[in-house]
Amino acid sequence: MRNKYLLALLSAFLLWFAWPPIPYTSPLLFIGFVPLLIAIEQVIRGDFAQKGRKVFLLSFVTGVAWNTASIYWVYNAMNAFLPAGASLMVALIPFCLGPLLMALAFRGYYALRKKRDIWISFIGLISFWIAYEYLHQTWDLSFPWMTLGNGFASLHQLVQWYEYTGVYGGTVWIWLVNILAFLIFWQYKMRVSAYPPSRLAIILVAIVLIPAGLSLWRYAQYEEHINPSEIVVVQPNIDPYHKFGSITPNQQLDILLDLSRQVAKPNTEFFVWPETAISSPNGINEEDFREYPAYQRIFEFLNAYRNGNVLSGIESYRIYPDQQSITARKYDEGVYIDHFNAAVLIDQSSKLEFYHKSKLVPGAEQLPFGEMLAFMKPLFAHFGGTTGGYGSQAEPSVFYSQSGIGAAPVICYESIWGNYVAKYIENGAQFIAIVTNDGWWSDTSGKDQHFQYARLRAIENRRWVVRSANTGISGFINQRGDVVQKSDWWVPAALSQEINLNEELTIYTRFKDLIAYVFLFTGLLSGILLFVPRTR
């Protein structure tokens, strides 16, 4: 079995080396699973006891090694907040839970192989894998960072067709090529030709080249409709670990306003500031925000810009006379309070628009599965969230300027949900504004991956992405997914860019993760086949 575990680790290495932010290596995803499939086939055909258990362990080893190498930076943030033992326990969510679900997909594949034709088993494998990815973006322990289709973020020219399928189309593409490559290799090695290798090779080449070729053609031919808007993004570079220790909220606002003025033009329409840029040690009361000095200063700042708006992250709260939400906590007798990681739009009228982050980080911003894990509240509180979790809103809302421009206020972690971002666009957003704070992860690949994934949101919806990150990377991404401007890491910066607004809806924006639903259905059928006796 030792050689088989080496093959499993080889798969992990190939998948990691192909993963963003490493440039130009994404095509290795096409063969990343081949060594693991070979190891599993050797188990299936070998003289072993407990074959299902061995298949599970092999795929689990691949998943753990691949995930750990790709998202090691998650532990950096956890370790900064928690004691070593506690951070190790919380790290099980991103490092082990995903690989566990991956291994279950392969275990289901093995169960199908015992009862059904190999092609039905491969359809089952793809379906079970997509079921894992879909579950991992919808339940309380969501972490869709490692969805396979995200792997092409650093070579976006090859996946312009994500405007039709989203990242799940990339997942299916990767799996089809891996399966065909495995079959060709295995038949050559075993000197059998149950399925003519030459025919399989032709199919493999077609499956690789046709989508890639069409994508490159679409990339070369795509032209943006000219509908300009002048935007400024600000990167204040405030250390998130000492936000209220070495600098006051008023000094933070000084930095944001000064940087904005440096690059602003008379026709600037949006100033985009990062996650929690507007804050105080106790948060901002949304009902009384107009009374805060920060609001008054921003309002006066906008007087110099005729159509100017400030779109900023904000730490806010609301007070209720009773418990109006499950996250609201009793603050005093007859008083309940709900905290939010939010965004706000401030213009030159008295109107204020707030959006409350919906996709909350498990552990840091919400307690997964509510009362079931209530005993872990003290642990999660140390991670930087509140013991009851942040409040949220169920659906995204679009910020509209006085001139009628619709902006999608996407907060940090939310930008890796293609279907959720598409809802903003469907609701009228003409560009995507990502406000984030990636400083928790330090100078690791986490910040680069997060920036690269934004390219996929641009392609899926054909919208410019305007990204303001507290410590970097901030920048502008056009409708093809090209990085037009970006800042350096850990430096104060302000960037100005004329973008093109877009009102057209792509196929993906309209139908979102339809391809995932198709494979969830085939996965259900595959699961049923596990319990249906095979007829001769």
Chain segment 366-393, per-residue pLDDT in tens: 666 655 555 455 544 443 334 447 888 9
Q: Band of the pLDDT at 506, cuts 50, 70, 90?
A: very high
Determine the Cα–Cα distance for residues 156 and 412; give it in Å rounded to an integer. 21
β-pairing, 475-477 vs 483-486, is antiparallel
Write phi, then psi, for 305 (nearest 5 degrees).
-130, 110
pLDDT score for 308:
96
Asked if 457 contacts 418 with a C-beta cutoff of 8 angstroms, the reply is yes
CA-based radius of gyration for the chain? 25
Q: What value does the mean pLDDT take over residues 2-25? A: 95
Q: What value does the mean pLDDT take over residues 445-453? A: 96
Q: Band of the pLDDT at 536, cuts 50, 70, 90?
A: low
Q: What value does the mean pLDDT take over residues 471-500? A: 97
Three-class DSSP labels, 24-87: CCHHHHHCCCHHHHHHHHHHHHCCCCCHHHHHHHHHHHHHHHHHHHHCCHHHHHHHHHCCHHHH
Q: Which two tokens stand for residue 322?
A: 């009773």
Q: Which two tokens stand for residue 366?
A: 């919400």
Least confident of 125-134, 261-270, 433-442, 526-535: 526-535
3-class DSSP assignment, residue 177: helix
Q: What are 239-279's pLDDT values in tens digits?
A: 887 776 778 899 999 999 999 999 999 999 999 999 999 99
pLDDT score for 64:
95
Q: Band of the pLDDT at 460, cuts 50, 70, 90?
A: very high
pLDDT score for 48:
83
Q: What value does the mean pLDDT take over residues 394-423? A: 96
Does residue 87 carry a pLDDT above 60?
no
pLDDT score for 255:
97
pLDDT score for 442:
86
Which of the 8 DSSP states describes residue 21? T
Residue bearing tokens 């700042």:
301
What are the residue boundaries of the structural domains of the chain, listed by start? 2-222+513-529, 228-358+393-503
Asked if 477 contacts 455 with a C-beta cutoff of 8 angstroms, the reply is yes
Whole-angstrom CA distances from 276 to 241, 436, 516 are 13, 8, 34
pLDDT score for 372:
53
Determine the Cα–Cα distance for residues 130 and 119; give it in Å rounded to an integer. 17
Q: What value does the mean pLDDT take over residues 31-43? A: 97
Q: What are 318-358's pLDDT values in tens digits?
A: 988 766 665 666 666 667 888 999 999 999 988 899 999 99
Cβ count within 10 A of residue 319: 15
End-to-end CA distance of the chain: 34
Alpha helices in 136-248 (DSSP H): 162-165, 167-190, 197-221
3-class DSSP assignment, residue 432: strand
pLDDT score for 328:
61
β-pairing, 493-500 vs 228-235, is antiparallel
CA diameter of the chain: 80
pLDDT score for 354:
97
**Side-chain-side CA neighbours of residue 379 (13 Å):** 19
Mean pLDDT of the chain: 90
Task: Tell which wins on pLDDT, 394 or 369.
Answer: 394
Which of the 8 DSSP states describes residue 535? P
pLDDT score for 191:
67
Domain 228-358+393-503 CATH class label: alpha beta
Whole-angstrom CA distances from 212 to 20, 27, 34, 86, 155 are 18, 11, 21, 45, 11
CA-closest candidate to residue 8, choices 53, 65, 49 = 65
Write phi, then psi, for 312 (nearest 5 degrees).
-135, 150
Q: What value does the mean pLDDT take over residues 62-83? A: 79
Determine the Cα–Cα distance for residues 272 and 233; give it in Å rounded to an integer. 5
Q: Is the dihedral of CA 512, 367, 453, 273 positive or negative?
A: positive
pLDDT score for 392:
87
Least confident of 18-22, 27-31, 359-363, 368-372: 368-372
Asked if 397 contacts 358 with a C-beta cutoff of 8 angstroms, the reply is no
Exposed / middle / buried, residue 522 (Cβ in 10 Å: 0-12, 13-18, 19+): middle
Q: Which two tokens stand for residue 80?
A: 């900064």
Does residue 137 carry a pLDDT above 60?
yes
**Which residues, in sequence order, are CB contacts of 165 under 8 Å at separation 6+?**
172, 508, 515
pLDDT score for 332:
66
Bridge partner residues of 494 (DSSP): 234
**Which residues, in sequence order, are CB contacts of 511 under 8 Å at separation 6+?**
none
B/e letters for 20-33, b = 16+ CB within 10 Å, e = fewer, are beeeebbbbbbbbb
